């Protein structure tokens, strides 16, 4: 048998639980199945651990056993494609949305957790600091300000940030309704910690519009109060939200 055929069958066995490669293995059929199972168990356990690390609140919400069951289904449908496991799980939220699992907000919790992971490993690039902004204010007020690659905004129809904080940070927060939309800002701050904060709709609009034109133009479009705007800009600079494009 050619190596390509062997590997195609073996890797299919590992991701789907089939046993088609058993005739290619040395030893009795029973022993070959048992040894194949070692690799099947290992692959399933490693991927479950990786995804539990990336999606801790998703795991908490559904419980370890059901989480592992979902992971097995996910592996069979969308197995990893790269040797670098940091890249695996980007479509887990979409899978959860179509998996028939009962928690309607769960896919957005998964999105929130994936974006935190992505922010943590995003490529390093200069983040605009308050000092740089102060030294070259005219430049930054007349040019578009793009979010850094380690910063992203997530809009959800559910109170996704509240739910996540209640579970991940043991924050006692009041959850009045599941139909309460929330916007979350995810950013890796300059010292390396990934933080998550709630955003108001006007703040999300400021980020969108200032990326298109500039900050003063976004204020004009949104009729934002100068004091609120000043506080928000200070917040963004402190978190290193914008890429320094000077």
Partner 1 sequence: MSLSSTTLQPLGFGLRPGHMDDVLQKRPQTGFVEAHSENFFGGGPLRRKLHQAREHYDISLHGVGLSLGRADGLDQTHLQSLKALVDDIDPIRVSEHLSWSSYSHTSVPDLLPVPFTNEAFGIFCNHVDEMQTVLGRQVLIENPSNYLAFAQTDMDEPTFLNNLCQKTGCGLLLDINNIYVTAHNLNRSATEYIDAINPSYVQQYHLAGYEEVPTEQEVLYIDTHGEPVHDEVWKGYSYTLNTIGDRPTLLEWDTNLPPLERLLEEVENIAVVRGKTLNTEEAA
Which residues are near partner 1 by CB under 8 A?
1-4, 6-8, 10-12, 14-15, 23-27, 30-32, 34-39, 42-43, 46-47, 50, 79-86, 120-125, 150, 188, 191-193
Q: In angstroms, what is the minimal distance from the CB of 94 to partner 1?
A: 18
Alpha-carbon distances, residue 6 vs 12, 33, 37 (angstroms): 10, 15, 17
Q: In angstroms, what is the minimal distance from the CB of 125 to partner 1?
A: 8
Beta bridge pairs of residue 237: none
The smaller minimum CB distance to partner 1, of residues 13 and 108, is found at 13
Element (H, E) at 245: none
The smaller minimum CB distance to partner 1, of residues 35 and 167, is found at 35
Q: In angstroms, what is the minimal distance from the CB of 34 to partner 1?
A: 6
The smaller minimum CB distance to partner 1, of residues 15 and 59, is found at 15
Quote the radius of gyration of the chain (alpha carbons, Å): 23
Number of CB atoms found within 10 A of residue 121's CB: 12
Q: In angstroms, what is the minimal distance from the CB of 209 to partner 1?
A: 28
Q: Print burial letters for 158-175: b (CB count within 10 Å at least 16), e (below 16).
A: bbbbbbbbbbbeeeeeee
Tokens for 163?
A: 């739910």
The smaller minimum CB distance to partner 1, of residues 104 and 124, is found at 124
The smaller minimum CB distance to partner 1, of residues 120 and 211, is found at 120
Q: Are 105 and 130 in contact (CB under 8 A)?
A: no
Q: Within 13 Å, how many C-alpha atoms sit on residue 123's CB side?
A: 3
Tokens for 23?
A: 């005739």
Q: In angstroms, what is the minimal distance from the CB of 54 to partner 1?
A: 13
């Amino acid at each position: 048998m050619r190596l390509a055929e062997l590997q195609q069958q073996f890797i299919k066995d590992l991701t789907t639980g089939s046993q088609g490669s058993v005739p290619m293995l040395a030893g009795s059929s029973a022993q070959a199945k048992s040894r194949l199972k070692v690799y099947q168990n290992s692959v399933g356990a490693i991927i479950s651990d990786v995804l539990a690390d990336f999606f801790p609140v998703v795991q908490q919400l559904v419980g370890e056993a059901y989480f592992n069951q979902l992971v097995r289904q996910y592996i069979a449908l969308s197995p990893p494609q790269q040797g670098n496991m940091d890249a695996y799980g980007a479509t887990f939220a979409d899978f959860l949305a179509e998996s028939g699992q009962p928690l309607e907000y769960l896919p957005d919790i998964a999105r929130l957790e994936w974006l935190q992971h992505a922010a943590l490993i995003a490529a390093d690039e200069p983040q605009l600091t308050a000092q740089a902004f102060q030294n070259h204010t005219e430049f930054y007020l007349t040019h578009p300000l793009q979010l850094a690659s380690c910063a992203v905004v997530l809009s959800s129809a559910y109170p996704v940030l509240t739910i996540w904080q209640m579970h991940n940070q043991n924050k006692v927060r009041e959850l009045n309704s599941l139909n309460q939309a929330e916007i979350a800002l995810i950013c890796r701050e300059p010292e390396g910690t990934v933080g998550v904060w709630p955003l108001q709709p006007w703040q999300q609009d400021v980020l969108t519009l200032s990326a298109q034109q500039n900050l003063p133009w976004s204020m004009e479009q949104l009729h934002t109060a100068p004091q609120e705007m000043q506080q928000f800009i200070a917040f963004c600079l402190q978190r290193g939200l914008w890429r320094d494009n000077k």
